[in-house]
Chain A
């Protein structure tokens, strides 16, 4: 029998490597649970103190220890919604350009450049957002939008250096590389015979895309957009640099605002009272739930959809 003739060292080595690597894998799983537990643990005093009404309370007043999360939840969802509104169509268009249109030479260069942007640290984007983008928004982009769309509630008032509009632009800049490169990969998985059949029927390129490529990849593209959303929801630094950090429910993008992650990054370490710290952790717990739902949702779609997943 093979097992009997194996050397002692090999038997120990096999078991040892299995145990060691197994412990590491278990550690990875445990870590996620621990993070969730610890954040809820830290938030627990505030959860028991303020209950669920914390979610729709709008006052955030550390001096009188009155805390409510509504403004930050609104700011997070509102800026992410607008960022997605800008980034999603652009990302799909970039994905289509790179997979269907671009000449081979351009394809590699543009693809690499778009991905490179994913590597730029958010604090650098934020620095650029304050000092370069901010003035441009104030002097050019904002007034232009105000002139054309000033009659809607979304572009009322006068644009400033900082505000939700800058945050939306910065967020969409951060989402586009993620969403566009995943969509590009998805579009490349469309079987060429389907595409050729469409061309063979005399369809134009756009009709082929609308009739074959987009339906074939729909759920995957949707998942890619949700992944981008997850990124936007959790982005703390670049947003806190440009959004103005004042609470309030403002529908106008020219006004300032604040988001969950931004408030956390800005005030968590400096929080003076235990209840404020705990309330901030409560904000963190809400943010955690929102991002986990978005990410797990996206992954469920991807796993169900991914045509190249291992079938073992």
Chain B
């Protein structure tokens, strides 16, 4: 660089104009990309609304499948079955997930903490069809499909979501709260059960609701564990039960337009459930945030967004 006095002027030269044009172009590209992403969601949801809403009727909720090719009939057994399978799955996964998180956060040292975290992330990344095949291998092979086998598979999918969610929330409980309790002479386990857990309850519920939303839409594991079903409504988890996602999957590949309509109706019901659960989870989270005021805000956001979008 020579030491000549700078000859810059503040007026835009050709180069400055080009830089500004490049900048503008890039801003337009970024905005357009976001618009495309939002448009895709709108297209998806509106398609489900347009085709699902007209197909909704009372029979859908009260009757079982019509014979092939005949009009009418409903998906009552799928709705009930989905409910049963997801309820059992959550009952299995919730205690294990929360306990696992408590151990990691309250008792474990840094190495174990990292090991369990990594394991849970790995578990999240295992394709759900492989979870299905695993459960098939230990519970179904040689025997029969059952809703319980489906629940176990969905529980494995819920487990890392609940455990990771709980861990992140436990990390937000202010250390001073724990210390205050211990300083009053309260033992460790009482501190965990009556101070730490109640404080983080809303966060735990957020993780659980997101896990339920995820599990309710899982199809692949149910195809191998609970898909060959009777055309009757049942609450018995020892039999294979129908479910909404499996119904949508089977009907979507059917040539029968009546079944297409019912697939859209089932998709509508499932989508409404999943989106409402998501919105409720966010509301819980907002409530929890207000309660945990004072924890470092930036970190909280980073972790929380991972919760919503982890594959």
Seen from chain A, the residues whose Cβ lies within 8 Å of a Cβ on chain B are 6-7, 10, 13-14, 16-18, 20-25, 27-29, 31-32, 34-35, 38-39, 41-42, 89-90, 93-94, 96-98, 100-102, 110, 112-128, 130-132, 173, 176-178, 180-182, 184-185, 188-189, 204-207, 209, 227-228, 230-231, 233-237, 241, 261, 264-265, 268-269, 281, 284, 287-288, 291-292, 294-296, 299, 303, 308, 310, 312
- Distance in angstroms between the alpha carbons of A125 and B267 in the assembled complex: 9
Of all chain B residues, the one with the shortest Cβ separation from A310 is B171
Contact call A38/B260, Cβ cutoff below 8 A:
no
Q: Which of A28, A128, A185, A231 contacts B123 (CB 8 A)?
A: A28
**In the complex, what residues of B have CB within 8 A of residue A231's CB?**
311
User: Number of A-B pairs whose CB atoms are under 8 Å?
Assistant: 304
Taking CB atoms, residues of chain B closer than 8 Å to A227 are 125, 311
CB-CB contacts of B16-52 with A at 8 A, as 1s and 0s?
Answer: 0001101100110111111011101101110110010
Contact: B310 with A237, CB < 8 Å?
no
- A29–B116 touching, CB < 8 Å: yes
Is B188 in the interface zone, CB < 8 Å from A? yes
Cα A120 to Cα B308 in complex, Å, equals 12
What's the minimum C-beta distance from A264 to chain B, rounded to whole angstroms? 5
Q: With A and B bound together, what is the CA distance between A130 and B217 in angstroms? A: 18
- A234 CB to closest chain B CB (Å) equals 3
Ordered by A's residue number, 6 sampled pairs between the chains whose C-beta atoms are within 8 Å are: A38-B137, A178-B309, A189-B298, A284-B133, A288-B126, A292-B122
Chain B nearest CB from A20 CB (Å) reads: 6
**Chain A residues with CB under 8 A of B245:** 121, 123, 237
- Cβ–Cβ contact A269 & B34, under 8 A: no
Given contacts A17-B188, A32-B122, 16 further A-B contacts (CB under 8 A): A13-B190, A14-B189, A21-B99, A25-B116, A34-B134, A35-B134, A97-B34, A114-B38, A116-B275, A182-B305, A205-B23, A234-B311, A236-B220, A237-B219, A268-B129, A281-B137
Q: How far is the CB of A281 from chain B (nearest CB, A)?
A: 6
Cβ contact of A116, chosen from B23, B96, B137, B278, cutoff 8 A: B278
Residue of B with least CB distance to A125: B44
> Judging by beta carbons under 8 Å apart, are A10 and B130 in contact?
no
- Give the contact stretch, choosing among B71-79, B231-239, B246-254: B246-254
Beyond A32-B123, A127-B267, A185-B302, whether A178 also contacts B130 by CB under 8 A is: no
**In the complex the two chains form, what is the Cα distance from A296 to B118 in whole Å?**
8
CB–CB A235/B263 < 8 A: no
Stretch of B58-66, B83-91, B103-111, B200-208 at the chain-chain interface: B103-111
**Which residue of chain A has its CB nearest to the CB of B216?**
A121
Q: Taking the nearest CB of chain A, how far is it from the CB of B187, in angstroms?
A: 4
- Tell whether A21 pairs with B40 under 8 Å between CB atoms, given A31-B156, A131-B252, A296-B122: no
Within the complex, which residue of B47, B219, B271, B306 is in contact with A182, where a contact is CB–CB below 8 Å?
B306
B147 within 8 A of A: no
Could you say which residues of chain A place their CB within 8 Å of the CB of B301? Answer: 185, 188
Q: In the assembled complex, which residues on chain A have CB atoms less than 8 Å from the CB atom of B95?
A: 24
B residues with a Cβ closer than 8 A to A are 19-20, 22-23, 26-27, 29-34, 36-38, 40-41, 43-45, 47-48, 51, 95-97, 99-100, 102-104, 106-108, 110, 112, 114-116, 118-123, 125-134, 136-138, 156, 159-160, 163, 171, 187-190, 192-193, 210, 213-214, 216-220, 223-224, 227-228, 245, 248-249, 252-253, 260, 263-264, 267, 270-271, 274-275, 278, 282, 298-299, 301-302, 305-306, 308-311
Are B38 and A113 touching (Cβ within 8 A)? yes
Judging by beta carbons under 8 Å apart, are A288 and B130 in contact?
yes
Q: Are B37 and A90 in contact (CB under 8 A)?
A: yes
Contact B40 A39 (CB under 8 A): no
Decide: A119 and B275 in contact? CB cutoff 8 A: yes
| Partner pick for A291 among B114, B125, B132, B214, CB 8 A cutoff | B125
Are B131 and A120 in contact, with the CB atoms below 8 A? Answer: no
Chain A residues with CB below 8 A from B116, complex form: 25, 28-29
Closest to A186 in B: B302
Given A93-B29, A114-B38, A118-B309, answer yes or no on A39-B130 (Cβ-Cβ < 8 Å): yes
In the complex, the answer to whether B130 meets A230 with C-beta atoms within 8 Å is no
B56 → A minimal CB distance (Å): 15
Per the bound structure, the CA–CA distance linking A18 and B191 in Å amounts to 13
A154 to B236, CA, bound (A): 50
Inter-subunit contact B119/A29 (CB<8 Å) = yes
Best-buried of B19, B44, B97, B301 by chain A (most CB within 10 Å): B44
- In angstroms, Cα B171 to Cα A235, docked, is 32
Q: Nearest A residue to B33 by beta-carbon distance?
A: A93
Known A-B contacts A14-B189, A21-B107; the reply to A265 vs B310 at CB < 8 A is no
Contacting residues, chain B, for A308 (C-beta < 8 A): 298-299, 302
Contacts of A126 in B (CB 8 A): 249, 252
Residues in B with CB closer than 8 Å to A42 are: 133, 137
Residue in B48, B112, B160, B309 whose beta carbon sits within 8 Å of that of A128 in the complex = B48
For the complex, give the distance between the alpha carbons of A42 and B190 in Å. Answer: 45
Query: A94 with B217: in contact, given A18-B103, A264-B129 (CB under 8 Å)?
Result: no
Q: Is A284 touching B130 in the complex (CB atoms < 8 A)?
A: yes
